[in-house]
């Protein structure tokens, strides 16, 4: 039995194609409007912070300790504490997150247990940060006796961004074409050699992007740090990580008390003196600038690595 051939007029086909092209253009225009609208709001907020805190955006503000006198107060201990916390966070989250993602994507068997792990990792990315703070309070502060230290803060934020790093790394690894793996296997490479020499080098741009985006979130977190006991007023610096004697690196700073820029801003905002509001605005502008800089670095790194790769 021959199938009936349905003849569609050419004019009808052209009209349908033209209608779909118009809808595509409309969708693109709507998307661009929302994108530029969000960017405009961000620029306005950033400029508003800069305007409110412009009087305090000086070198003295960066090199002075907090003070009860708003005119002499600075963020030295806050930005040093934030930098050290981010150092611990990156040192823990990056190797653990990348290793977990590579295992799930390249080594783990595809069964129900792996599916449960993947679902839970994805769900953990949406857990409120205060939950991580409560977990860290019971685990790191009391169970491991780390106290209210930089190490406890760094481990807390590492747990916070770990799902983000795992998900971003898995997407980067998954984006590597299967043909590259098959070609390496055909030449006799082992699974580890394929992963280490081919998969990871091609996906390093996406991995670094996910890591920097995770750190961009961690740098502005306040609730977990307050939960584990971050101090809101510190007029001293922790011991330097570097030493003049071998091995030229000290770990004593990991056990010292700390504060961070979001904590310092929270302290100033809660005070009734308008001069402290100016300090908070200046600190907020600096913190937002650091976040934008980290995201800009992520975009640049991704662009550079994509440009080097020639599929």
Report pLDDT digits (tens) over 20-75.
888 888 899 999 999 999 989 988 888 888 888 888 888 888 888 888 888 888 88
Q: Are 73 and 279 in contact (CB under 8 A)?
A: yes
The token pair that represents 35 in the structure block: 């994108």
Judged by average pLDDT, the poorest of 132-136, 175-179, 214-218, 240-244 is 240-244
At residue 33, the pLDDT reads 93
At residue 89, the pLDDT reads 92
At residue 310, the pLDDT reads 55
Q: What percent of the chain has pLDDT over 70?
A: 94
CATH number of 57-308: 1.10.3720.10
Domain ranges of the chain: 57-308
How many DSSP H helices and E strands does the chain contain? 12, 0
298 pLDDT above the threshold of 80 = no
Q: What is the pTM of this model?
A: 0.82
250 pLDDT above the threshold of 80 = no
Going by C-beta distance under 8 Å and a sequence separation of 6 or more, which residues neighbour residue 295?
212, 213, 216
- Mean pLDDT, the chain, whole residue set: 84
At residue 197, the pLDDT reads 86
Please choose, from the candidates 270, 255, 212, 244, the residue with its C-alpha nearest in 3D space to the C-alpha of residue 86: 212
For residue 73, which phi and psi values (nearest 5 degrees)?
-75, 145
10 pLDDT above the threshold of 70 = no
Q: Are 147 and 255 in contact (CB under 8 A)?
A: yes
Q: pLDDT, tens digit, for every residue of 257-296?
A: 888 888 888 888 888 888 888 888 888 888 888 888 877 8
Confidence bin at 156 (pLDDT 50/70/90):
very high
The token pair that represents 48 in the structure block: 């508003």
At residue 8, the pLDDT reads 58
The whole-angstrom separation of Cα 272 and Cα 281 is 14
The token pair that represents 100 in the structure block: 């977990």
At residue 1, the pLDDT reads 47
Q: pLDDT, tens digit, for every residue of 93-131?
A: 999 999 999 998 888 888 888 888 888 888 887 888 888
């Amino acid at each position: 039995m021959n199938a009936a051939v349905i003849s569609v007029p050419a004019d009808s086909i052209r009209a349908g194609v033209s209608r779909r092209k118009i809808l595509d253009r409309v969708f693109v225009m709507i998307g661009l409007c929302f994108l530029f609208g969000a960017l405009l709001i961000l620029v306005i907020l950033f400029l508003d912070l800069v305007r409110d805190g412009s009087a305090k955006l000086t070198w003295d503000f960066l090199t002075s300790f907090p003070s009860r006198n708003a005119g002499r107060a600075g963020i030295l201990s806050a930005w040093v504490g934030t930098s050290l916390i981010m150092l611990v966070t990156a040192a823990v989250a990056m190797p653990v997150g990348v290793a977990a993602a590579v295992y799930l994507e390249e080594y783990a068997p595809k069964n129900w247990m792996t599916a449960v792990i993947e679902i839970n990792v994805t769900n953990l990315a949406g857990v409120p940060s205060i939950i991580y703070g409560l977990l860290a309070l019971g685990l790191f502060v009391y169970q491991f006796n780390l106290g209210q230290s930089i190490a406890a803060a760094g481990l807390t934020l590492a747990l916070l961004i770990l799902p983000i790093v795992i998900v971003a790394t898995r997407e980067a690894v998954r984006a590597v074409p299967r043909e590259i793996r098959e070609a390496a296997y055909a030449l006799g490479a082992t699974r580890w050699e394929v992963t280490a020499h081919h998969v990871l080098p091609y996906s390093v741009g996406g991995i670094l992007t996910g890591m920097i985006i995770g750190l961009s979130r961690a740098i502005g977190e306040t609730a977990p740090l307050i939960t584990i006991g971050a101090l809101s007023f510190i007029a001293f610096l922790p011991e330097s990580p570097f030493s003049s004697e071998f091995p030229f690196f000290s770990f004593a700073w990991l056990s010292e008390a700390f504060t961070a820029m979001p904590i310092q801003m929270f302290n100033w905002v809660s005070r009734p003196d308008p001069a402290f509001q100016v300090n908070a605005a200046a600190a907020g502008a600096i913190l937002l600038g650091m976040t934008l800089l980290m995201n800009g670095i992520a975009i640049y790194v991704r662009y550079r690595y994509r440009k080097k790769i020639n599929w």
